[in-house]
Amino acid sequence: MTLLIVIRSGSLTFFAENEYDEWSVRYNEATVALEDREEKLAAISDEIEQDLRLLGATAIEDRLQDGVPETIADLKVAGIKVWVATGDKLETAIGKPDDLPGT
């Protein structure tokens, strides 16, 4: 699972007053639609996922998925600091950012 932390470009908040409440009603309607549910969910999600600036990301997974090493390398090339924290084994928990895949 991946969680992206974002902010609206040029704003100090993510939502304008009442914006989330109005969007949430439409989103909930899409989740129970009997016809074209996936398309409606995609469209309503696209409404809110505009003009965003990535602040950070977090993920929970036991293994690297396809394309992750390349993505980590691209993030580092873009000057984005990347840290991987793990607690499964001492030898993986003490790695440093320069030891990440694709670097």
Domain boundaries, the chain: 1-60, 63-103
| Per-residue confidence (pLDDT) for residue 99, from 0 to 100 | 54
Asked whether the beta carbons of 59 and 71 are under 8 A apart, the reply is no
Q: Each residue's pLDDT tens digit in the chain (103 positions)?
A: 677 788 887 776 667 778 888 999 999 999 999 999 999 999 999 988 888 888 877 776 656 667 777 877 888 888 877 776 666 666 655 555 555 554 4
Per DSSP, 92 falls in state H
Write out the two tokens for 92.
């993986």
pTM of the entire predicted model: 0.54
Contact partners, residue 40, CB within 8 Å, separation at least 6 = 29, 30, 33
d(CA 79, CA 51): 21
| Per-residue confidence (pLDDT) for residue 94, from 0 to 100 | 53
CA distances from 47 to 10, 43, 52, 54 (A): 17, 7, 12, 17
Write out the two tokens for 74.
């691209």
Asked whether the beta carbons of 68 and 10 are under 8 A apart, the reply is no
